[in-house]
Amino acid sequence: MSQITAAARNTAVNLPTWVWLAMMLAVGLLYAVTFDGGLLSSRVATSSMFLHEFFHDGRHLFGVPCH
Amino acid sequence: MWKRFDPSRPLAVIVGAVVAGMLAGFVASVLLSFTAEPVIDQAIALEEARHAAEPHAPGAPEEPEVVARGDQKGVGRFAAYSFGGGAYGVLFGITFLALRRRDGKTSPADAFRRSLLAGAFMAGAFTVMPFLKYPPNPPAVGDPATISERQWKYLALIFLSVVVFALAARLSSHLRDRGWTGDERLIAVALAIAVPLGIVLAALPPYHDPIEAPANLVWRFRIASLGGNLLLWSVLTMTFGAVAVRRERELSGAVAGMPAGEAVLRPATTT
C-alpha cells in the first residue's frame, strides 16, 4: 500500500499543456526585459524606447547584446 | 502557503519556482548595486565624453532622457532582475518537472538532485555558455549597426545549448532504461554534453565589433555580471531545492506512514 502511493507521487511524467503556455509567457517576459526595442514599449508607454531604457542596466548585466 | 507546495504538482512547482526566481533576482540585484554599478557609471562617463568630442551640428537638439539615470540603476535594474528571475523561474520549474524519473523509483532527496541539475542546465545555457562565447559588454561598447546580427548569434547560442542539455537528459534516461548504471552512464552523458557544447562554441561566428573601451573596464564589468547571474541561479536553485526536498520528505512521510522514530528526525513545521 505504502509503496503504491509513494510511487504514484512521482510517475505523472507528461506535463500538462498549460506548462507550454507558461513557458511562452516567460519567454515573452524575457523579451520585454532584454530585447524590446519599441514593439511592446510603444503600446505600454509614451516612448517607444521606454522599456529599453528602463531595463538598460539589467539588460547589459544579463549579457544581452545592446546598442 | 507552505502546506500547498507539493513538488509533484506542476502548478505548485511553477509558482514556487517563480517566487524563488524573483527572490533570487532581487538578491542578485542587491549584489550588483555594489559590484557592477560603479563600472557602468564609468562606462557611461566614457561614452558621454566620446559623444561630446564628436562635432555637433550647431543647435542640434540634445537626446531626450527617457528614463532618468537614477531609475536605470535603481528601480529599473531591480525590476529587470526580478522579472527576469521570475521568467527564469518558470523555465527552471519546467526543467525540474521534465527531469522526473519515468520509472517512479525515487526518494525525497531526488527533489534536491533534480533542482541542482535543473539549475546547472539553466545556468549553463543562459549564463555560462553566452559568457564563454559572447561575453557581456558594458555601455560604450558595441556598434548599433550590428545589433541584430549580434542578437541572433546570442539567441542561437542559447537555443543550441538548451537543445544539447535536453538531448543529454533524454540520453541519460534512455541509458538508464537499458540498464547502464553508475559511472558509465555519467561519463556517457558528460561527453554528450561537453562535446556538442564545444562544437557549438567553435562553430558559431564571433562578434566582429571592435572593443575600444579599456580592457580593464570591460573585464570588471564582465566579472561583475557573471557574479550577479551565477548568484541568481544559485539562490534560485538552493531555495527551491531546499524547500522541495523538505516538502517531499513531509509528504512522502505522510503518504507512506513513516515510523514515528523517523519523524522525530525532522523538526515539525511551525506554520
**Closest CA–CA distance from residue A67 to any residue of chain B (Å):** 4
Asked if B91 and A23 come within 8 Å (Cβ–Cβ), the reply is yes
165-204 of B, contacting A, C-beta below 8 A:
none
ipTM associated with this complex? 0.86
Distance CA B53, CA A65 (A): 25
Sole residue written with cell 520528505: B249
Interchain contact A57–B (C-beta under 8 A): yes
Q: Which residues of A25-60 are buried (b: 16+ CB within 10 A; e: fewer)?
A: ebeebbebbbbbbeebbeeeeeebbbbbbbbbbbbb
Taking 60 as the threshold, does the pLDDT of residue A3 lie above it? no
Asked if B87 and A57 come within 8 Å (Cβ–Cβ), the reply is no
Closest CA to B164 of B198, B127, B214: B198
Q: What is the pLDDT at residue A7?
A: 46
| Minimum Cα–Cα distance from B248: chain A residue | A9
| Minimum Cα–Cα distance from A19: chain B residue | B94
Asked if B104 and A11 come within 8 Å (Cβ–Cβ), the reply is yes
- Torsion angle in degrees (nearest 10) through CA of B1, A15, B25, B214: 170
Closest CA to B86 of B153, B149, B20, B159: B20
Interchain contact B106–A (C-beta under 8 A): yes
Are the beta carbons of B73 and B34 closer than 8 angstroms? no
Closest CA to B251 of B263, B264, B236: B263
Interchain contact A65–B (C-beta under 8 A): yes
Are the beta carbons of B90 and A22 closer than 8 angstroms? yes
Question: Counting Cβ atoms within 10 Å, is residue B237 exposed (0-12), middle (13-18) or buried (19+)?
Answer: buried
Interchain contact A34–B (C-beta under 8 A): yes
Main-chain phi, psi angles of B233, to 5 degrees = -65, -40
Q: How far is CA B96 from the centre of its chain?
A: 14
Distance CA B80, CA B87 (A): 10
Distance CA B24, CA B231 (A): 8
Over residues A4-46, the pLDDT tens digits come to 444 455 555 678 899 999 999 999 999 999 988 778 888 887 7
Interchain contact B95–A (C-beta under 8 A): no
Over residues B227-263, the pLDDT tens digits come to 999 999 999 999 999 999 999 999 887 765 544 444 4
Asked if B256 and A5 come within 8 Å (Cβ–Cβ), the reply is yes
Residues of chain B with pLDDT under 50: 258-268, 270-271
What pTM does this model have? Answer: 0.88
* DSSP reduced 3-state for A55: coil
Interchain contact B104–A (C-beta under 8 A): yes
Q: What is the pLDDT at residue A43?
A: 82
Are the beta carbons of B230 and B123 closer than 8 angstroms? yes
Q: How many CB pairs under 8 A join A and B?
A: 155
Q: What is the pLDDT at residue B54?
A: 75
Query: What cell does B76 get?
Result: 529599473
